[in-house]
Structure 1
Amino acid sequence: MSVFPRPFPALLGLALLPATSLFAQSVNTPTPAKVVQWTHLDPQKDNTMGISTQRTYDELLKNRIPTPVIVAVIDAGVDTTHEDLKRVLWKNPGEIVGNGIDDDKNGYVDDVHGWNFLGNRQGQNIDVDLYEETRLVARLKPLYEGKTRTSVPAARRAEYDLYQKVKKDFAIKVKEENEQYMELAPLAGQLEGINEQLKQALGVARIDTAVLRNPPGASTNPQLLQLTSQLYASLKSSGLPDLDAVVAQVKTGATETKKHLDYSLNLDFKPRAIIGDDEDDTRDHNYGNADITGPDALHGTHVAGIIAADRSNTIGIDGVAGPLVRIMGVRAVPNGDEHDKDVANAIRYAVDNGASIINMSFGKYYSPQRAAVDAAIRYAEAKGVLLVHAAGNESKNVDAVVHYPAPVPTTGTAYPHFLTIGASGSTNDAELTANFSNFGQRVDVFAPGVGIYSTMPGSTYGNESGTSMAAPTVAGMAAVLKSYFPQLTAADLKRIIMQSAAPVHTQVARPSDKKKVDFTTLSSTGGVVNLYRAVELATRQTAAKGGGASSAGGR
């Protein structure tokens, strides 16, 4: 599951510290009142590369009447009790809560807010799963290890070649995870010491960008000034709020990396036994349970908040979409790589239960049951549902390597209802492109994905970075368009979002090699999404067709 950036940008490029890679940072803090989110700001008015959300509502949508829209979040889980999400959750109108009966006869018992394909009927759930490379090596090694290509029947040589390739990628992953763990484990203590020493030296309780920009009492200490200056630049570009968050995230990164080594890369680990299904039978959908939160809902909760956190209350954050947009939770993404079978079933579940838009902030580089996923994507197309997919966080050119689910079928042109989203930063300068983001002509547009503040489990809030955050920004935009212009098709939504993303001719570092390039070369549109321009375009185009959205002023 390539959800959070990994490796994360080298945050502390300091002479006294080794270079390091960090996971996306997450800071869980209760927030009593609404905060300003840079994502919602306007490039012209605020000099920030947001999507102009607030300006759109204030100027273009204030007299228009919205219609209901359901957005499915296929993810690791959503906290259904969160103060900023509970009002905007989809409620299955045909299901009675907790009676143990499939009231609406859709094949899923008690699916009040969605469905969980990573659990069993006894309420047990998968948390950590294998990487796809691990699953493939475990399956193919007994068949092909030690054999030559010529000794394998011609009909099985393609599979033999796959094993040779995936075996190398598996070894690379093992090496990278080991190196990362050896780096992160001791780094946590080192950073913690630096953080505490700086607090004492500067006489502050928290080392954030404000303190680092003007460190109190440091003017007579050149060494301290140099350190704070370097820290300020790194912290500002990363989107992290303070050094406490850095320390916490390094500790979390070390723990997660160890978990991947012990489980996700363990050829003998068999987590799927919890579910008890035949994972090779992609036609089977009769498994799972109604627990859409699961054991670790951080990622999905953050994604859901970006899309549609309650805009009508006075606490927390504002999602992009509202007020009649509802979130359907579909749990299919473990800590590890998702199964193609689960992804295909999750897409079909969302489509069959009324979703107009599906957010998919996950991905991988092998898809052994791709045909099942492609069939589900085509099913969504036939039913008029837009799919929004994160481009991935490995700084790869996705024109050269496929990031699944793929935006293009094995034959033919790109799907007309499938958007692939790269991650951008808040400033229109060399750091406009998130240095972890995948890129290429198969990336349709970029959207805010660095230091994104959103909902966290337990009615808390925090920052995350990744194309996982950029995709729901666009899914939220699509929901706004669909809500206020309900006649728009999935293909219309994709076209309008892409056409309204004006090209940005800024020199940026190409994520793969840090070479300076024009930002327009990193995606098919060369632009960053903008809700204001998208609504303007939708208004013009629907009016031209004689199907303008309803307006309070016109009644």
Structure 2
Amino acid sequence: MKKWNAVLALCGTLALAHAQKPNWHNLDLQRDSVFGISTEKAYNELLKNKKSTPVVVAVIDSGIDTAHEDLRSVLWVNPKEKAGNQKDDDKNRYTDDINGWSFIGSEKGNVQYDNLELTRILRKQMARFGSLSSLPEDTTGLYAFQQLKSEYDRELAKAKMQLMGMTQFAAALDSVVVHANKGRLTLEDLKGYKAANGQERHVKTILMKELQRYPDAVTFKEKEIDGGVEHFKDMVEYQLNLEYDPRAVVGDDYNNVKERYYGSNDVTGPDADHGTHVAGIIGAVRNNGLGIEGVADNVQIMVVRAVPNGDERDKDIANAIRYAVDKGAKVINMSFGKPYSPDKKVVDEAVKYALKKDVLLIHAAGNEGLNIDDSANIFYPRRQYEKKGEANAWIEVGASGYKDDETLVASFSNYGKNTVDVFAPGVSIYSSVPGSKYTYHDGTSMASPVVAGLAALIRSYYPKLSAMEVKDIILQSAVKVTHPVMVADGGAPHAVQLSDICRTGAVVNAYAALQLAAQK
């Protein structure tokens, strides 16, 4: 789940919050004046000299850099598998699954880019309805196909327009830097620069804001604009390209959603940025003088690669959940989502399997700034089953910021009084990225692992608690927010109570949760 800061700026909306101190999400509101979850306070006051047991947390994501300096010692290692012998030592039909498994690759290579589910569904239906010039006798479903095609056409046109706009902005920014003849162009340099035309004036206006948090224009372009151009290019060339289908490299029978045994042991893959960042939030080694402090101090992170650059596939997610459960995960983090789920039943069955095994599922609510109670804004996977009922040991997480004011709810975060359980820090979160590096990311993708880390922390110090008991503790102990917060809901921002857009009306808190756990 991504949200590009540059896109927000170019659209004239509020840019995301400035980068905060690296560990702010673990700090305490009263002591540190940021709305973190009081993790450090909990370690200092509640957990000293207490014993814990390791908890396996599965990260279903894009992959994780298994060589990262702050993660490699906390990775789950399959105790029954011998590395590199090319044998299935534990007889689970996944050969050399040392740190986990990938369901989007094979010996032939990896899926890096994939379509949106919208594209895949449309491509499948086009085999029946074609170009609409010659219709089959049975036209059942034709109207739905036409609606889908219209949505696809709108999304493709929008992506092409955004790509063009971002590309033009990047070129204009380069022009300003060259004409200014000031190297990387700082804020002070920019103040004295006279724009040559309207396009340069537009660039200067945006840079005057952005260079208050970036050291120079080149750094801003590298961090924001280049990523935006790449994102929309990926949308046009891969995600919305009806001619592009990378599935052949996996080598499975894709139409057989019951198929379980395919994939590879390459759990890092070609682009592990997102998954590595998520993993660091959960359990990067604490107090080692490197990078960041994970929320949980005694975890084993299992890597399950199932999320490409594009929409994840239901079959892969179902198998990822089952694999994680079978190999002992007690918490599963799912920082992904999409608006269509053609094989939802197979995911529901996997979720039910996880619940039977006492596993707690944590899911990110999404980054569209929408009310996902609305039936028009449904995102998958979701706790509600296709037929009836819902997953009980499931926490849906929205993203919050560091200020205890009306900006507390992140401008990009989805919400819903009946859908989102709780909020957690998801703005300017500093964590690990590939190459033993670190950076800030924003998103409900970052808020979800904060909660997954908290769940693992509770389960490690209070291992007798069930998944449902841990969920109840997290929700019951969350800090209530009584002042108004701002949300957009597709229009102009307006004030609401957090309890109007969230089941608990609260932000998770590790200190309060551990206090409550001690009473169970």
- Equivalent position SS for 1:301: helix
Mapping 1:514-553, distance limit 5 Å: 514-540=493-519, 542=520
- Equivalent position SS for 2:268: coil
| 1:135 aligned onto 2:133 | no
| 1:407 aligned onto 2:383 | yes
CA distance in 2, matches of 1:243, 1:151: 56
Retained in 1: the 8 A contact 2:166–2:225? yes
Aligned partner of 1:53 in structure 2 is: 39
Aligned partner of 1:499 in structure 2 is: 476
Retained in 2: the 8 A contact 1:9–1:21? no
CA distance in 1, matches of 2:18, 2:431: 10
CA distance in 2, matches of 1:195, 1:398: 42
Amino acid of the structure 2 residue aligned with 1:133: L
1:366 to 332, 340, 355: 340
| 1:176 aligned onto 2:153 | no
- Equivalent position SS for 2:380: coil
Provide closer, same or farther for how the CA distance between residues 114 and 162 of structure 1 changes in structure 2, counting only shifts above 3 A.
Answer: farther
Retained in 2: the 8 A contact 1:7–1:394? no
| 1:421 aligned onto 2:390 | no
Q: CA deviation at 1:196?
A: 8.3
- Equivalent position SS for 1:469: helix
Provide closer, same or farther for how the CA distance between residues 388 and 199 of structure 1 changes in structure 2, counting only shifts above 3 A.
Answer: farther
| 1:340 aligned onto 2:314 | yes
Aligned partner of 1:469 in structure 2 is: 446
Amino acid of the structure 1 residue aligned with 2:38: S
- Equivalent position SS for 2:386: coil
Retained in 2: the 8 A contact 1:25–1:240? no
Amino acid of the structure 1 residue aligned with 2:125: L
Retained in 1: the 8 A contact 2:413–2:444? yes
Q: CA deviation at 1:233?
A: 6.6
1:96 to 82, 85, 104: 82
Q: What TM-score, normalized to structure 1?
A: 0.84
Amino acid of the structure 1 residue aligned with 2:55: V
- Equivalent position SS for 1:378: helix
Aligned partner of 1:188 in structure 2 is: 170
| 1:316 aligned onto 2:316 | no
CA distance in 1, matches of 2:288, 2:415: 37
Q: CA deviation at 1:145?
A: 5.2
Q: CA deviation at 1:539?
A: 1.2
Provide closer, same or farther for how the CA distance between residues 162 and 330 of structure 1 changes in structure 2, counting only shifts above 3 A.
Answer: farther
Aligned partner of 2:92 in structure 1 is: 106
| 1:444 aligned onto 2:421 | yes
- Equivalent position SS for 2:304: strand
Q: CA deviation at 1:10?
A: 2.5
Deviations 1:389-411 (CA, angstroms, capped at 9, x unpaired): 11011112111122100121134
1:295 to 259, 265, 270: 270
Q: CA deviation at 1:189?
A: 3.6
Deviations 1:295-349 (CA, angstroms, capped at 9, x unpaired): 0000000000010011141111111111x20100000000001110000000000
Amino acid of the structure 1 residue aligned with 2:452: A
Retained in 1: the 8 A contact 2:75–2:300? yes
Amino acid of the structure 2 residue aligned with 1:11: A
Provide closer, same or farther for how the CA distance between residues 339 and 465 of structure 1 changes in structure 2, counting only shifts above 3 A.
Answer: same
Q: CA deviation at 1:191?
A: 3.9
Provide closer, same or farther for how the CA distance between residues 217 and 296 of structure 1 changes in structure 2, counting only shifts above 3 A.
Answer: closer
CA distance in 1, matches of 2:344, 2:150: 21
Aligned partner of 1:331 in structure 2 is: 305
Retained in 2: the 8 A contact 1:481–1:538? yes
Amino acid of the structure 2 residue aligned with 1:297: A
CA distance in 2, matches of 1:198, 1:533: 54
| 1:275 aligned onto 2:254 | no
Aligned partner of 2:485 in structure 1 is: 508
Provide closer, same or farther for how the CA distance between residues 173 and 293 of structure 1 changes in structure 2, counting only shifts above 3 A.
Answer: same
Q: CA deviation at 1:515?
A: 1.9
Q: CA deviation at 1:459?
A: 0.5
Aligned partner of 1:44 in structure 2 is: 30
Mapping 1:193-342, distance limit 5 Å: 200=182, 244-248=218-222, 249-322=224-297, 324-342=298-316
Q: CA deviation at 1:234?
A: 6.2
- Equivalent position SS for 1:455: strand
Retained in 2: the 8 A contact 1:6–1:21? no
CA distance in 2, matches of 1:175, 1:229: 27
CA distance in 2, matches of 1:298, 1:25: 21
Q: CA deviation at 1:205?
A: 7.5
Provide closer, same or farther for how the CA distance between residues 228 and 522 of structure 1 changes in structure 2, counting only shifts above 3 A.
Answer: farther
Amino acid of the structure 2 residue aligned with 1:266: N
- How big is the alpha-carbon RMSD for the aligned residues of Structure 1 and Structure 2? 3.1
Q: CA deviation at 1:123?
A: 4.6
Q: What TM-score, normalized to structure 2?
A: 0.89
Provide closer, same or farther for how the CA distance between residues 338 and 172 of structure 1 changes in structure 2, counting only shifts above 3 A.
Answer: same
CA distance in 1, matches of 2:178, 2:46: 48
Aligned length: 503
Aligned partner of 2:465 in structure 1 is: 488
Identity of aligned residues (%): 44
- Equivalent position SS for 1:11: helix
Provide closer, same or farther for how the CA distance between residues 444 and 104 of structure 1 changes in structure 2, counting only shifts above 3 A.
Answer: same
CA distance in 2, matches of 1:447, 1:315: 24
Question: Where does structure 2 lack aligned partners over 5 or more consecutive residues?
Answer: 195-202
Aligned partner of 1:15 in structure 2 is: none
CA distance in 1, matches of 2:124, 2:293: 46
Amino acid of the structure 2 residue aligned with 1:4: K
Aligned partner of 1:550 in structure 2 is: none
CA distance in 1, matches of 2:505, 2:152: 33
Q: CA deviation at 1:270?
A: 1.6
Retained in 1: the 8 A contact 2:9–2:206? no
Deviations 1:198-241 (CA, angstroms, capped at 9, x unpaired): 995xxx9895xxxx7xx79989x9xxxxx9998687678xx878
Deviations 1:165-212 (CA, angstroms, capped at 9, x unpaired): 422332222122112111211222434566789995xxx9895xxxx7
- Equivalent position SS for 1:278: coil
Aligned partner of 2:55 in structure 1 is: 69
